[in-house]
């Protein structure tokens, strides 16, 4: 079944059906993943406002747009993506907050 033919709300292949196994931990993890993406968007914004290097500012704008798109696309049923964000992105947030590179 293609995305065009999938009923609204029906999970994509590889995603959990939220009516089957939704737990409090799923909720906590999903919200933490969204907060992590919010932190990345904010960190990019802070870096954009502090730099005078046009190329560096553009790089942070592109990354910021990617994080916004990921946040918008994040589904409560996509456990793999939620866990990837929780695993991979906190160190990036930390580096950006400390003035380092992505």
Average pLDDT in the 22-40 region?
93
Whole-model pTM over 0.75: yes
DSSP, collapsed to helix, strand or coil, labels residue 97 as: helix
To which residue do tokens 């939704």 refer? Answer: 22
How wide is the angle at C-alpha 84 spanned by C-alphas 83 and 88, nearest 5°? 120
pLDDT per position as a tens digit, 55-86? 999 999 999 999 999 999 999 889 999 999 99
Give the closest residue to 36 by CA, choosing from 94, 80, 102. Answer: 94
Of the CA atoms within 13 Å of residue 85, those in its CB half-sphere come to 25
Cβ(35)–Cβ(92) below 8 Å: no
């Amino acid at each position: 079944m293609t995305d065009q033919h999938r009923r609204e709300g029906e999970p994509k292949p590889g995603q959990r059906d939220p009516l089957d196994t939704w737990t409090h931990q799923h909720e906590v993890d999903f919200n933490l993943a969204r907060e992590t993406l919010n932190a990345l968007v904010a960190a990019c914004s802070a870096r954009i406002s502090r730099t005078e290097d046009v190329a560096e500012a553009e790089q942070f704008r592109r990354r910021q747009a990617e994080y916004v798109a990921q946040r918008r696309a994040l589904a409560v049923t996509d456990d793999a993506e939620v866990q990837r964000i929780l695993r991979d992105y906190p160190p990036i947030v930390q580096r950006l907050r400390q003035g380092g590179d992505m």
